[in-house]
Amino acid sequence: MTELVEEQKIENKYDAIVIGSGNGGLAAAAKLAKEGVKVLLLEQHNLPGGFATSFVRGRFEFEASLHELADYGPKSNRGGIRKLFEDQFNLDAEFVCVPEAYKLILTDPEEHMEIALPFGIDEFIDTIEKEVPGSRESVRNFFNLAKEIRAAFGYIASTQGKPDQGVLMKEYTNFLKTAAYSVKEVQDALGIPEKARKILNAYWCYLGLPENRINFTLFASMVLVYIDKGGWIPVNRSHGYTTALDASIREFGGDINYNTKVEKILVKERQVVGVETSYGDRIETSHIVCNASPTLAYNQLIYPKSEVPEFAFKEVNARIHGLSGFCVYLGLDATVEELGLKEYSYFIMDDMDTEAVYESWKKLEAPRGQATVVINNAIPDCSPPGTSMMYITTLFKPDAWKDVKPEDYVKTKNQIAEKLIDHFEEATGAPIKEHIEEIEVTTPETYARYTGTYKGIIYGYEPESWDSLVPRLMSMGKDQYIKGLRFCGGFGRRVHGYSSSLSDGYTVALLTLQDIKKGGAEE
């Protein structure tokens, strides 16, 4: 054990401690502090945000991971996240809408397609109809179904996981009928033409499961939110709003300590009693909001180990650990006009065989698909005059990287990066390579290093139907094995993603507030 630096001791008792300052942890800490709870947010890294951050290389400040924030929306059609930021957190951060939904490019000669999709449900449906005549009605049905599903989620969340079955049966029948099925199964039933599906399902990579495995309700809900409210990004990269959240937490009276890793969650008789940090602090608390995954908490953090119930290990082992990422960040010494790049978001895949693309993520070679963002097409002055910034993103099952030796690491990641750049150049015709002024390549190793997440996973547990949003929400109340310990974030109830994690953090703060009240009443 490390010896405590006496003179730098922090307070030793808090009403609540939040472990980790990712999206979930920040939202939870902000809400708890706002409600007057004496809360301490502990973060191992020297910055807030987890994945929601930025980094500087040369003349460029790169976005670390966000492509677009869902459920933010314009002032006239505010989404849940905008409401959270404006009404709850009084957040000092600016966001802009990205110009279009996405450009989908399929590069396989036999499947070749190139189509740009706008935001707005009607415009989106029109664009698909133009490319695939006769698809209108089935795609419209997809969106109507998505709206019913989203309304149902709102209802379930409002009942804290205990919905009235009668209300569900009456109001949200279609939600019930599709809740257990995959995207493929429901889209078959909707009779959406194959080509229209390829266009409609391009967002699949944000959830990271092929069409035959991804739960329909989750996917439909996500597509609806993007197309209806647009995709939004913070003007100063994600660090812009996560630093603003830090400021709000402090303003509400919360305490934050960076560079402070929680080594142990102290548990006594299945009740949280405190934490121990990398500095040797022992801090008492009865309430922990854990932004680290259940995987890490149960396997590494809870102390003593005998306090981890067998069922918790089983739960972690039953669930399927999701994907990690791979990203090529490029600072280019040419403008988007010079490069001929018009769109913000490019989905480039050999074809829309999502199973095959998913399979390619298991091998240590250049994957068959990428999602690439050209940030200047949303924020023109985000880099110096005459330059532009883009990042090519793809995914990997982390174990694809498990046998890489340190001395081969750079060569391995550069080979993959180069192929992804080549694929982008071939698909768009933009001459990228000759303009690279700064380049950084991140892999599962990088994500493990900076966030400490298990195997560098950037998406939480895979949301197949059996473990998707619906059963997770409906298990609320039955999934807490240690009193005072609640989880939030990408491995949380609302499944991974920025806006899901933020909402989840907020919900978990509300649940913790109830716990605190109950606890107070008992005393």
Partner 1 sequence: MNGKDYKKVDITIKSNTKDIYAFTKLVPNRIKRIKKASNEPLTEDPIKDLAQKLHPLRQYLKINQIIDNTKTTKTFRFVPDNERGTKQLAYFRAGQYLSLKVEINDEWITRPYSISSSPNESLEGFYDITIKKEEEDGFLTPYIWKNWKVGTKVISSGPEGFIYYEPLRDKKHILGLAGGSGITPFRSIAKAIAEGEIDANLTLLYGCSDEDDIIFYDELKQLEKDNPDKIKVILVLSCEVVSLTGCETGFLTAELMEKYADVSNCSIFICGPQIMYEFVEKELERFNLPPKQIRIECFGEIKNISAFSGFPKEKVDKTFNIAVHIGGETKKIPAISTESILVALERAKLAPPSKCRSGECGFCRSLLLDGDVYISPISDWRREADKKFNYIHTCSSYPISDLELIIPRKQNRDF
CA distance 256 to 72: 26
Between residues 207 and 244, which has the closer beta carbon with respect to partner 1?
244
**Nearest by Cα to 409 from 373, 436, 448:** 448
Is residue 335 within 8 A of residue 376, CB to CB? The reply is yes
Distance, first Cα to last Cα, the chain: 34
Which helix (H) or strand (E) segment holds residue 446: the answer is helix 444-451
Q: How many residues bind partner 1 (CB under 8 A)?
A: 105
273 binds partner 1 (CB under 8 A): no
Kindly tell me which residue out of 119, 206, 358, 401 binds partner 1, with binding defined by CB under 8 A: 401
Between residues 67 and 237, which has the closer beta carbon with respect to partner 1?
237
Kindly tell me which residue out of 10, 113, 115, 116 binds partner 1, with binding defined by CB under 8 A: 10
Q: Which residues face 264 on adjacent strands?
A: 276
In the range 131-170, which residues lie near partner 1 by CB under 8 A? 141, 143-145, 147-148, 151, 169
Kindly tell me which residue out of 77, 112, 212, 410 binds partner 1, with binding defined by CB under 8 A: 410
| String marking each residue 167-206 x if it binds partner 1 according to CB under 8 A | --x---xx-xxxxxx---xx--xx----------------
Question: Checking DSSP bridges between strand 436-442 and strand 324-332, what pairing results, if any?
Answer: antiparallel
Which helix (H) or strand (E) segment holds residue 40: the answer is strand 39-42
Between residues 71 and 100, which has the closer beta carbon with respect to partner 1?
71
Contact region for partner 1 (CB under 8 A) — 8-16, 352-360, 490-498, 500-508?
8-16
Between residues 102 and 142, which has the closer beta carbon with respect to partner 1?
142
- In 3-state terms, what secondary structure has residue 149? helix
**Which string of b and e fits 196-207 if b means at least 16 CB within 10 Å?**
bbbbbbbbbbbb
Kindly tell me which residue out of 56, 77, 212, 355 binds partner 1, with binding defined by CB under 8 A: 56
CA distance 278 to 262: 6
11 binds partner 1 (CB under 8 A): yes
455 binds partner 1 (CB under 8 A): yes
Provide the minimum distance between the beta carbon of 399 and partner 1 in the complex, in angstroms, as a whole number: 7
Is residue 96 within 8 A of residue 232, CB to CB? The reply is yes
299 binds partner 1 (CB under 8 A): yes
257 binds partner 1 (CB under 8 A): yes
CA distance 260 to 268: 23
404 binds partner 1 (CB under 8 A): yes
Between residues 75 and 518, which has the closer beta carbon with respect to partner 1?
75
Which residue type is seen at 93?
A
Rounded to 5°, the CA angle 42-45-48 comes to: 70
Question: Checking DSSP bridges between strand 388-396 and strand 369-374, what pairing results, if any?
Answer: antiparallel
| String marking each residue 305-324 x if it binds partner 1 according to CB under 8 A | x--x-xx-xxxxxx-----x
Is residue 371 within 8 A of residue 393, CB to CB? The reply is yes
In the range 89-108, which residues lie near partner 1 by CB under 8 A? 93
Chain centre to alpha carbon of residue 159: 24
Provide the minimum distance between the beta carbon of 260 and partner 1 in the complex, in angstroms, as a whole number: 7
Between residues 106 and 139, which has the closer beta carbon with respect to partner 1?
139
Provide the minimum distance between the beta carbon of 385 and partner 1 in the complex, in angstroms, as a whole number: 12
439 binds partner 1 (CB under 8 A): yes
Pull the structure tokens for residue 480. 């807490």
| String marking each residue 470-489 x if it binds partner 1 according to CB under 8 A | xx--xx--------------
Provide the minimum distance between the beta carbon of 210 and partner 1 in the complex, in angstroms, as a whole number: 18
